[in-house]
Structures are given as structure tokens and as C-alpha cells.
Chains A and B, each alone.
Chain A
Amino acid sequence: QQQVKQSPQSLIVQKGGISIINCAYENTAFDYFPWYQQFPGKGPALLIAIRPDVSEKKEGRFTISFNKSAKQFSLHIMDSQPGDSATYFCAAANFGNEKLTFGTGTRLTIIP
């Protein structure tokens, strides 16, 4: 049973635009939600993470929005740049049982 659903599967955004990737989870015990960025041939790199006690977290051009009642969270990349072209994975974990459950990934392409 897939516990974290991610959409879209692929996304093309113009340079300078806003990239938005969405995730929904089922397990209400999840209380830690990180986003990872992965370039081809590389390992996932932790980008930003949020706990459910806040509805939004911003780090530079990256923002996580979190809706606990809807069991959804999203990644917003402002002023998207060609260097942001990568695959992005959302994940979730239950603090105390720290294994990450990943979404299926979004391949983001930023075009000039």
C-alpha cells in the first residue's frame, strides 16, 4: 500500500517561474516531512523538512506548505532556475520509527 502519493510525475516550468509539487499521505502517525533533490547518478540530498506544528517553512527559494487536516504538503520553488532541474522526492516518517516512506518522485525541468 503506497502511503505517500506524489504529483505530478513530471513538470516543465519556465525559468523564473514557480514550481509546485504536491504530496498526500495516509498514515496519520507521520510527523516529519522532508523533501529531497536528486540529480542523475547521485544520491538524494536533503532540501528542506517540516514538522506538523507549523503550516509553512521557507528556506531561500524553497517553501514547504503543510495542511494537516487534508494530510497534504507541497514544495514550492520560487524563481526556478535551470540548475533546479532534477528529480524531487517527498517523504514522510514517524518520529521514533525513523524509516522514510518516499513518494514516487517528480522530474522537474526548467526551460530558458
Chain B
Amino acid sequence: NAGVMQNPRHLVRRRGQEARLRCSPMKGHSHVYWYRQLPEEGLKFMVYLQKENIIDESGMPKERFSAEFPKEGPSILRIQQVVRGDSAAYFCASSPPPGMGYEQYFGPGTRLTVT
């Protein structure tokens, strides 16, 4: 029973490049959340998605960041034209459909380093 999977685990990008982070939810889970963790800080909510639909993107920066969760395949967090301040650990979590529990289970994270 695989947990939440994220890849890559580590990603190095130069300033101005694009970063694509992928997340596959737990089996049976239809909701995905992305959080960002800066060094020595707590996790900050970014976006909440279900298949083909963004539920809440109130934590997403207005520019350069986007997220999707297509009908088939993993959820993708995309960061365009990365800057040094984007260096952080990005965690994906998944939860069951509404009415079947609201626990969020986290993946191992993608550690993004912008040089």
C-alpha cells in the first residue's frame, strides 16, 4: 500500500529556469495539497486540488507558480523563472474523498535548490 510519492526528491535549478515537481497521491485519495517549508520554519499551505479542479489556491504566489491535477497522472507544481527565494522543501499531501476522512498524509518532499 504505497504512500504519497513525490519526485524528484532533490532538484537543482539555476535562476531563471523552470522547476516541475510531481506528486502521486495515495491509492484511493482524490485530493492533493501542496505545502512549502522554508528552512527552520513550519509548512505553509499553497494550493488544494482535486482531479481537474483547483479548490483553493489562496496560498500560491500570484506570479510564476501554477499547479494542476489532471484526470490521468500525477499532480504537478510548476515554478517558472525560479529565484533564490524559491529554495525550499515542497511537500505534497493527499486525503480521501469528502465524507471518508480528512487526514492528510504527506510525501517525502522535493528539496529545491536554486543556484
Selecting from B12-20, B36-44, B61-69, B75-83, the interface stretch reads: B36-44
B115 at interface, CB cutoff 8 A: no
Further 9 A-B residue pairs, CB within 8 A, beyond A34-B103, A97-B56: A32-B102, A43-B91, A43-B109, A45-B106, A93-B102, A99-B33, A100-B35, A100-B104, A102-B42
B24 at interface, CB cutoff 8 A: no
A53 at interface, CB cutoff 8 A: no
CB-CB nearest 9 A-B residue pairs: A43-B106, A102-B42, A99-B45, A104-B42, A102-B43, A43-B108, A44-B106, A43-B109, A105-B42
A54 at interface, CB cutoff 8 A: no
B59 at interface, CB cutoff 8 A: yes
Complex contact A46–B105 (CB within 8 A): yes
11 A-B residue contacts at CB 8 Å? A34-B103, A43-B91, A44-B43, A44-B91, A95-B102, A98-B95, A98-B104, A99-B48, A99-B58, A102-B42, A105-B41
Q: How far is the CB of A100 from chain B (nearest CB, A)?
A: 6
List B residues at the A interface (Cβ < 8 Å): 4, 6, 31, 33, 35, 41-45, 48, 56, 58-59, 91, 93, 95, 102-109
Closest to B45 in A: A99
Q: How far is the CB of B52 from chain A (nearest CB, A)?
A: 18
A73 at interface, CB cutoff 8 A: no
How many A residues have CB within 8 A of the partner chain?
22
Complex contact B56–A103 (CB within 8 A): no
Fill in one digit per residue for A38-59: 1 if any B CB lies within 8 Å of its CB, else 0: 0000111110010000000000
Complex contact B104–A89 (CB within 8 A): no
Q: How far is the CB of A75 from chain B (nearest CB, A)?
A: 15
Q: How far is the CB of A38 from chain B (nearest CB, A)?
A: 9
Contacts of A49 in B (CB 8 A): 103
A101 at interface, CB cutoff 8 A: yes
Closest to A6 in B: B42
Fill in one digit per residue for A2-46: 1 if any B CB lies within 8 Å of its CB, else 0: 000010000000000000000000000000101010000011111
